[in-house]
């Protein structure tokens, strides 16, 4: 406890950093749930593919050595575009092949759920077996740098050195940490405005609230669902870039744990609610840090899920509750 008080600022800020990544990934779960009332279990892999896009594009650009955050800004901007394209594209593929037909035919939810879980495994294993896939295609020679040792950790070719920039309490906040928190907040704000103020946002809300009435008012629900997946993918791409700036390493199986946490964050905040995803992510990140500080790091997962259960006991629909449509009154 004394430790928590003494290092309150540091634990809070590093918790917010992790929570920001949770929150951005949680958006993908919450958006799809809001519109389809389905959990997109493949979303964790949408994120994972984004992290690889960052690694690959920097490898392609020949980035190496170490750099300050500002020095790598150009690389990172390109990596961000690549990650957003990759994650957005993978999200659209998931929608097209794991969802669309089943949704259109009104398949039972559990069937679509299994389809999503299957898509998750397929996406993860394609990444984990990419050397063999490149081999089948006869491209292993050309793609060697990108596909060799697919099951080992892949690291960012350029190493980002964080610099202290801002004193909060007794902690010097690093520039990378500041960037991650601010980027996540900006993305959340942009998305929130998009959903509230644009005609596409209106259509998403309309389909979320009453898909049949929405289609009779001229909303193309297939397009709306596709757009929802795309937005979730874009957010996951941003999260992947921020994650790589912070962690600097990824693996074909990195999506699972982060996905479970992000999903937890979405449920904690109230699944289907965008602001809930942000709140849930940040609270989860901080709570994990506090618990690790007080009880020891092996308690972080226990704490995360005990917190989830406690919140759901008091507020069964999560902190902010209610659906995508309703919360956006």
Partner 1 sequence: MSESEDILLELEAVTIKFGGVVALDDVSMTIKKGEILGLIGPNGAGKTTCFNVITGVYAATSGTISLDGKSLAKRKRYQITKLGIARTFQNIRLFPSMSALDNVLVGADVHSKVGLLRALFRTPYFRRVEPENKRRAVELLELVGVGAQPDEISVNLSYGDQRRLEIARALATNPKLICLDEPAAGFNPAEKLRLMDLIRQIRDLGFTVLVVEHDMKLVMGVCDRIVVLEFGRKIAEGTPSEIQKNPAVIAAYLGTEEADDDAA
Partner 2 sequence: MRAIKASQLLVVGVASALVLSACAAPADTTEGGSGSTESFSIAYQGPLTGADAKYGEYAKAGIEIALADYAAAYPDGPTVTAIYSDSQGDPAQAPALAADLINNADVLGVVGPAFSGETEATEPAYSEAGLVTVSPSATRVSLSEQGWSTFFRVVANDGAQAPAAAKLLTDVVGAKTVFVIDDASAYGVGLGDGIKDALGDKVIGSDSVEKGSTTDFSATVTKVTASGAEAVYYAGYATDAGLIQKQLTAAGFEGTYASGDGSLESTFIETAGEASEGAYLTAAAGAAGDDFVAKWDALTVSDKGSIGVYSTEAYDAAWVILSGIGEGNTTREDVLAWVAGYDAEGITKHIKFADNGEIDGAGGVYYYLVKDGDFEAPVAID
Tell which positions 114-173 bind partner 2, by CB under 8 A.
128, 149, 151-153, 155, 159, 161-162, 164, 172
With CB cut-offs between 5 and 8 Å by kind, which of partner 2, partner 1, none does residue 328 bind? partner 1
Binding partner 1 (rule: CB under 8 A), the pick from 8, 97, 200, 299 is 200
Q: Cβ-count burial of 104 within 10 angstroms (0-12 exposed, 13-18 middle, 19+ buried)? A: exposed
Q: In this complex, which beta carbon is closest to partner 2, that of residue 11 or of residue 94?
A: 11
**106 is an interface residue for partner 1 by CB under 8 A:** no
Q: How far is the CB of 291 from partner 2 (least distance, A)?
A: 8
Judged by CB under 8 A, the stretch of 24-32, 148-156, 203-211, 251-259 that binds partner 1 is 203-211
With CB cut-offs between 5 and 8 Å by kind, which of partner 1, partner 2, none does residue 137 bind? none
Tell which positions 230-269 bind partner 1, by CB under 8 A.
230
The three-point CA angle 57-59-65 to 5° equals 125
Q: In this complex, which beta carbon is closest to partner 2, that of residue 154 or of residue 228?
A: 154
Q: How big is the site for partner 2, counted in residues (CB under 8 A)? A: 42
Q: In this complex, which beta carbon is closest to partner 1, that of residue 1 or of residue 329?
A: 329
**292 is an interface residue for partner 2 by CB under 8 A:** yes
Task: List residues near partner 2 by CB under 8 A.
Answer: 3, 6-7, 10-11, 14-15, 17-18, 66, 128, 149, 151-153, 155, 159, 161-162, 164, 172, 174, 176, 246-249, 251, 253-254, 257-258, 288-290, 292-293, 296-298, 300-301
């Amino acid at each position: 406890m004394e430790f928590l008080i003494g290092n309150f600022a540091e634990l809070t800020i590093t918790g917010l950093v992790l929570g920001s990544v949770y929150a951005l990934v949680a958006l993908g779960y919450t958006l799809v749930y809001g519109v389809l009332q389905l959990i997109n279990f493949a979303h964790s892999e949408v994120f994972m593919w984004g992290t690889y896009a960052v690694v690959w594009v920097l490898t392609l650009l020949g980035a190496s050595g170490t750099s300050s955050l500002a020095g790598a800004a150009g690389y990172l901007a390109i990596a961000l575009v690549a990650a957003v394209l990759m994650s957005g594209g993978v999200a659209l593929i998931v929608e097209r092949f794991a969802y669309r037909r089943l949704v259109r035919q009104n398949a039972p939810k559990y069937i679509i759920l299994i389809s999503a879980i299957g898509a998750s495994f397929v996406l993860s294993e394609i990444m984990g077996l990419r050397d063999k896939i490149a081999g089948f295609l006869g491209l292993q020679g050309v793609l060697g740098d990108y596909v060799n040792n697919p099951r080992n950790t892949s690291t960012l070719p350029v190493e980002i050195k964080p610099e202290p920039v801002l004193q909060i309490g007794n902690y010097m906040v690093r520039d990378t940490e500041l960037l991650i928190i601010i980027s996540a907040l900006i993305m959340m704000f942009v998305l929130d405005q998009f959903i509230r103020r644009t005609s596409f946002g209106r259509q998403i809300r309309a389909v979320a609230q009453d898909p049949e009435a929405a289609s009779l008012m001229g909303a193309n629900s297939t397009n709306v669902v596709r757009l929802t997946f795309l937005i979730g993918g874009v957010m996951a791409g941003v999260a992947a870039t921020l994650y790589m700036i912070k962690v600097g390493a990824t693996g074909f199986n990195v999506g699972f744990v982060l996905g479970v946490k992000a999903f937890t964050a979405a449920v904690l905040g109230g699944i289907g609610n965008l602001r809930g995803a942000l709140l849930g992510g940040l609270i989860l990140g901080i709570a994990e840090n506090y618990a690790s500080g007080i009880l020891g790091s092996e308690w972080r997962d226990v704490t995360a899920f005990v917190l989830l259960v406690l919140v759901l006991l008091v507020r069964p629909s999560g902190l902010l509750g209610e659906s995508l449509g309703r919360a956006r009154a």
